[in-house]
A and B are shown apart, each in its own frame.
Chain A
Amino acid sequence: MNDYTFNDYKKGQPRWCPGCGDHFFLASLHKAMAETGVAPHEMAVISGIGCSSRLPYYVNTYAMQTIHGRAAAIATGAKIVNPKLCIWQISGDGDGLAIGGNHFIHAMRRNIDLNMILLNNRIYGLTKGQYSPTSPRGFVSKSSPYGTVEDPFRPAELCFGARGHFFARCVATDAKGSIEVLKAAYEHKGASVTEVLQNCVIFNDHCHDIVYNNEGRKKNAIYVRHGEKLVFGENNEFGLVQQGFGLKVVEIGKDGYTIDDVLVHDAHCEDNTLQLKLAMMSPEDGFPIALGVIRDVEAPTYDEAVHQQLADVSAQKKYHNFMELLETNDIWEVK
């Protein structure tokens, strides 16, 4: 089925800063697109505004770079009227979670079949360095010279709070991990959110350093896969177990913990409690960062439901065009 190579999806010369995480991610997206086997003309890439939202200029598909924050809304309209289109919706943390926050949560809630990509560098790059809704409290930037006095959004929390059915995370420089979750996002029917941890070399350099290279990921990340034990470490020597209402990191073979005590990841579990706990793990609290598909639950999609309802109502009603519609009214005749 796969007649395409990543070159079929490439276009133009990206103009992001040298070293920007967007370059890495774009290459992974091209490859993932090829691996889906969907023809370029059956795809649309739709973005908002910001550095990462320039991405549609570098794909050889149907594409729109739109207005700030509205990509999810625009993609929603496109998907509903043209449901065969495979739509990748690209936003940054400002575009998706600040100005576009309302559209983001409602796309999740409706569960419209969009592959929503959130490139998270925790900074506003295109406007040259202001804090974003994912910047940590106290973050010093041009618009917060004395540090921010507000807490950030954690994208997974927002996604789950909006009843999202798919959440995955990858690191821009990790091609293998990125391609794997992008393919899973494509396979998932319904709204999917893939958070891409991405560095901004100019305004927020080193923001994801602890997981930005292989070595760091071995120490500080856990790759979660459905049906597999939640183990991590250079030799998979650590595992996650449930303790009380929370998770706990244990060393396998120590303190009486065996591999049997370690949780098996269930991305398909309807109840998102433990998935959320996985998604919220942070090295600051002594946990690894979870990478991979954290939640992937099947649910009715909005676009399918819309078309199903059109078909159902059509089968019930006796009028199917404008002239027949007119006849449903109280009509009188003047001779």
Chain B
Amino acid sequence: MAEKLEVKELDQVVVRFSGDSGDGMQLAGNIFSTVSATVGNGISTFPDYPADIRAPQGSLTGVSGFQVHIGAGKVYTPGDLCDVLVAMNAAALKTQYRYAKPGATIIIDTDSFGPKDLEKAQFKTEDYLGEMDIDADRVIACPMTQMVKAALEDSGMDNKAMLKCRNMFALGLVCWLFDRDLNLVANFLKEKFAKKPAIAEANIKVIQAGYDYGHNTHSSATNVYRIESSVKEPGRYMDITGNKATAYGLIAAAEKAGLPLYLGSYPITPATDILHELSKHKSCGVITVQCEDEISGCASAVGAAFAGALAATSTSGPGICLKSEAMNLAVIDELPLVVIDVQRGGPSTGLPTKSEQTDLLQALYGRNGESPMPVIAALSPTDCFDAAFDAAKMALEHLTPVVLLTDAFVANGSGAFLLPESMDELEDINPHYVTPELKGHYTPYFRDPETLVRYWAIPGQEGYTHILGGLEKDGRTGAISTDPENHDEMCRLRAEKVARIPVPDLMVEGDRDRADLLIVGFGSTYGHLYSAMQELRKKGHRVALAQFRYINPLPKNTARVLRKYPNVVVAEQNLGQLAAYLRSQVDEFVPYQFNQVKGQPFVVSELVEAFENILEPRRTRISSVSLSMSD
């Protein structure tokens, strides 16, 4: 997949839209990314929003950002630092400038840099550019508010409604800089506001005003290159966030399996959008229940699985702790269940809107007893679709709960999703149902001798009544058993059943035949680690990447891959959970580790520096890289 595409730094640009939470930065960013994707650019987006719903206007804590990365070819991350920063007010400039590259172009609305605005943003003088050491030549300073009002003078809109269009002025200006076709933007808005043509028209007018302003003032972004379109896989695309893709994956899987889809959930950031998305699609037969608590979200899903649905529950942060008891019931009852954990900063409430990969060991082991459970981690926003589909397929075909790990980064980020042309493109899902031969003498622990999967009898069918429960059962009769030998056997059997689930081999990308360094990661860090690998290869290093998507069971070639290279670094957004797990599974595996738990995505340049340090150890060691042995 990825290795075919060579990413050229010069063919990429990162734009960060920032302003108050209510300034519509996400919409502006989305339109820019969609329009760019329409002309064949690769896209990746990432919203960075505050935990407060509406912090005071113009305050530092109320700033939200939306970063868009577009490229001539495929792009793998939303980008480290931006080439163009749009700051709709003083607070945005103050807090977001740190995400700008040296020499980046800064677009500001000078109407939001008055004395009060500067005070709220904690500037000390009126020379805000000087205070931040920004060269005025790089700044496109535009009285946006006034210009928007002028553009909408005859619209009959009130002041408040007019101000809401400021984001479109900024978008128009950005479209000028990057030579985007305004007709595409207009079409987008006409469709989006099909029922409110007046709003569409006003927005289009303001975009044109922003575009014309750029034209008339000969604005240019000195360091930015025009983004050419390169050939992308032909087909029909849509922009999709990870949470939406997860929801779509479940809907597709339920349809493929011929089962109703049930989601039991309790609102929690950043997983809630999965509940929102699925709640919309009742016309596809999706049932969602906003439960009384996280426990009930999972417990009701276990009940739904027992009664014959593709059952799922979604959560984040502390929610996964509360679900673990009911997840374990699904383990001992061998019921199909998809548990979606959109990881966020922890422990406890932690950083609710920020991203990290710190639930891995909990997903693997965080339950009482011997509790084997498959774990799949999505690689990107669009991969959430496939990962959710795969998790559902695994759950239904192997009658087991499956944990799908995503995180705030992939859940809120978006990418261009290639639409399947028909349902035939998706793999079949064959739930492991009872067979007619078992009628009349069925027990829930009859198993397929090869896969060890039991047979699923859905209540309502005559001849298969049975009891499931949380107590250990005799492996043959299904009766309650405390027999020591039986329990030992059942623990091994449940583990072996999961171990026998077939998963694809671990793929190695880059210099797979002879690399001096193998980078290892899992899930959502794929884009950053891939980009870091490519950077290093451009610099002449021989580097490969192995990104785990299937974590339990591990791909069969895991040990072979990990032992093949002289140096291995496990890079993850936690303090070493994947490294610890791999060391427990692969004898004498001693990797370097790169660990960050900042709640922010990796920064490619930092990865490159750290990995170079491993390749050329004479350089100064940086603190976050260490040998996992206490050397």
Contact = CB atoms under 8 A, between A and B. Distances in A.
Given A61-B465, A66-B469, A76 B237 contact: no
A306 B309 CA distance: 15
A185 B264 CA distance: 26
A77 B292 CA distance: 12
Given A41-B459, A41-B461, A332 B38 contact: yes
A314 B283 CA distance: 4
Interface stretch (B60-68, B96-104, B247-255): B247-255
A261 to B, nearest CB: 44
Contacts of B299: 66-67, 70, 73-74, 77, 103
A323 B255 CA distance: 10
Given A73-B291, A77-B289, A322-B423, A106 B296 contact: yes
In order of increasing CB-CB distance, the 5 nearest A-B pairs are: A77-B303, A77-B300, A65-B469, A317-B283, A74-B303
A263 B469 CA distance: 46
Interface string B437-448: 000000000000
Contact of A73 (B188, B296, B307, B311): B296
Nearest to A302: B289
Interface in B128-160: none
Interface string B102-119: 000000000000000000
Interface stretch (A81-89, A153-161, A208-216, A249-257): A81-89
Contacts of B264: 77
A46 B232 contact: no
B201 interface: no
A220 to B, nearest CB: 37
B282 interface: yes
A123 B83 CA distance: 69
Interface string A290-328: 000000000000000010011001101101111101100
Contacts of A259: none
Given A82-B309, A334-B234, A334-B236, 4 more contacts: A41-B460, A77-B300, A317-B283, A332-B238
B445 to A, nearest CB: 15
B233 interface: yes
B466 interface: yes
B292 A321 contact: no
A193 interface: no
A42 interface: yes
Interface in A93-136: 102-103, 106
A306 B287 contact: yes
10 contacts: A41-B461, A49-B470, A62-B459, A77-B264, A80-B262, A81-B304, A81-B311, A106-B291, A317-B282, A334-B232
A122 B626 CA distance: 58
Nearest to B458: A82
Contacts of A103: 292, 295-296, 299
Nearest to A312: B282
From B248, B255, B282, B309, name the one whose CB has the most chain A CB atoms within 10 angstroms. B282
A330 B252 contact: no
B622 interface: no
A57 B480 contact: yes
B260 A64 contact: no
B300 A319 contact: no
- Most chain B Cβ neighbours within 10 Å, of A67, A102, A310: A67
A334 B308 contact: no
B27 interface: no
B308 A81 contact: yes
A193 to B, nearest CB: 17
A2 to B, nearest CB: 17
Contacts of B255: 321-322
B197 interface: no
A257 B597 CA distance: 79
Contacts of A44: 306-307, 459
A334 B284 contact: no
B419 A326 contact: yes
A325 to B, nearest CB: 6
B34 A330 contact: yes
A77 B311 contact: yes
A56 B464 CA distance: 15
B329 A66 contact: yes
Nearest to A75: B303
B303 A73 contact: yes
Interface size class of A (residues with CB under 8 A): 35 or more
Contacts of B260: 81
B304 A334 contact: no
Interface string B250-268: 0110010000101010000
A333 interface: yes
A60 B192 CA distance: 56
B296 to A, nearest CB: 4
B237 A67 contact: no
B281 interface: yes
Contacts of A314: 282-283, 285
A188 B264 CA distance: 26
Interface of A: 39-42, 44, 46, 49, 56-57, 60-67, 70, 73-82, 84-85, 102-103, 106, 306, 309-310, 313-314, 316-317, 319-323, 325-326, 329-335
B301 A322 contact: no
B469 to A, nearest CB: 4
B471 interface: yes
B308 A82 contact: yes
A65 B467 contact: yes
B418 to A, nearest CB: 9
A319 B252 contact: no
B293 interface: yes
Contacts of A306: 287, 289
A103 B251 CA distance: 27
B479 to A, nearest CB: 8
A45 B235 CA distance: 51
A65 B239 CA distance: 45
Contacts of A106: 291-292, 296
Contact of A62 (B239, B309, B465): B465
A334 B240 CA distance: 16
Given A81-B304, A332-B237, A322 B262 contact: no
A81 B460 CA distance: 12
B247 to A, nearest CB: 10
A322 B284 contact: yes
B287 A81 contact: yes
B326 interface: yes
A333 B237 contact: yes
B422 A81 contact: no
B252 A46 contact: no
Contacts of B287: 80-81, 306, 310
B422 A333 contact: no
B300 A74 contact: yes
A320 B419 contact: no
B56 interface: no
B191 interface: yes
B252 A322 contact: yes
Contacts of A325: 248, 251, 281, 284
Given A65-B470, A67-B299, A334-B233, A41 B304 contact: no
B262 A81 contact: yes
Name which of B232, B248, B281 has the most chain A CB atoms within 10 A of its CB. B281
A76 B303 contact: yes
Given A84-B460, A331-B238, A67 B470 contact: yes
B463 interface: yes
Contacts of B252: 322
B37 A332 contact: yes
B307 A77 contact: yes
Given A77-B303, A319-B284, A56 B289 contact: no
B395 to A, nearest CB: 15
B588 interface: no
A65 to B, nearest CB: 4
A306 B289 CA distance: 9
B429 interface: no
A306 B264 CA distance: 13
A74 B299 CA distance: 5
